[in-house]
Structure 1
Amino acid sequence: MQSLSRALTVLAELNRQDRPYGVTELAVTVGLHKSTVHRILATFCAHGLARRVDDHLYCATDGLSSLRRTTTPHPDLLAEAATHLNCLVVLARPLPRTGGTVLEIAAVAWPAPAGRPAGTGRAAASPGDAVPLRASALGRAYLAGLPPAEVEGGAELLDTLRRVREVGFAHNARPVAALPRMVAVPVPDGAGGCAGALGAELAHPASLAEIRRYAPMLHRAAARLGPGQADRRPAPAAAASARRQGA
């Protein structure tokens, strides 16, 4: 029972403050060895009780209620986009406990080849994985969807986000972390902000002309994935705007 007591002590401390913890800080706070805390956190992440923010930081999820979350956000919309584009589609959202500064994979969907239902398969990215904001297409698409005044960064980042807004999408020519090559667009939140990012796998390095073909479908799907939009198709004006952005 000692191992259970240690795990509960770590879980209680992780939920005590609404912020990420470093492994060393958490170990010192609860009086356990760093390697012990690291193993406990790995177990929590595997069961949805914690999230890995980056290489050194962890934060709590919504506690035990996270064990009951088994549904994929908007599975039909994601499966539709994956089948239309014939590739892996990834939905990423900000982690609430980090103030929207880190994204995590919320859901993945595959196209539906013969014998395999849409939305299933072996993905390079998995729900719960952390997404680097600046290095990934998903992260840059999310940042580009925020009001510019809310984004902090140097001139190089701000110039990159300006170009993303102009062309309507972000993309990675190489895999980043556990993510494949991707093209991504922001998911609007309906209030002038951004609720996350929607990305499609690039099976091989592609030209900008090829990548542009992904953008209109991604924009249409993203418009329907935003809060309060899941059951409504985009208005004609919004669809036209999405087509112009992806042109």
Structure 2
Amino acid sequence: MSDDEGSAASFEASRLGRKDHWDGVYDREINNFAETGDIGEIWFGEDSANKMVEWVCRNIDDADARILDVGCGNGHLLLGLAEEGYTNLTGTDYSAQAVELATRIAKQRGQEITYRVQDFLNPADVSLVAGERKFDVVLDKGTYDAICLKPKEGDEEGAQIDTGARDVYAASVFHSLSTDGVFLITSCNWTEDELVARFAPHLKLVGRVKHRSFQFGGVVGQTVTTAAFKKS
């Protein structure tokens, strides 16, 4: 059993891996945004999003680079990149409500960002959004974590994880990237070593982002991992 499989064995399926859960979340956040102007929760906190934006700014010089945010939610990550001058931004989510919310927020802030409904586990959807040119950068802040909690189809109790979804996700990342494309992922469930194992042999680790660390039993670790990969 690989480290990746061993870690996954300790997980249980969760509502965080279900589309109907996120549809409900973003229904509420659409109403909240309309009433108060609050854009809603920032997954993993604003600091993690800012670190991803900073990494892109340091490593991607072309302001017209084609950038995809998978599982964009309210679009906060792409708003940060738009404010830094990046102009070719696309956000996708399998929740139409998330796409609606992100679109409204971008319009209110005067930012031209493309948002589309996409099932990242559907190869046809992946191909349609990527197009022939594909993306120079693919971003993920928590989407892979949610997919790893996706219940297995047909499990009435909803307790079994659809482990095959992780393999489909990795293939979707690969097929969304251009030849020299970069994949930047932030996770709170997987260590850097586990992410490297998951995306090998098609992607290689090329960078990382430091987060607040902790020490326990003489071992130093991070509660959040951000790693950058490039096509091998």
Question: TM-score, length-normalised on structure 1?
Answer: 0.34
Q: Which has the higher contact order (CA 8 A, sep 6+)?
A: 2
The structure with more radius of gyration: 1
Question: TM-score, length-normalised on structure 2?
Answer: 0.35
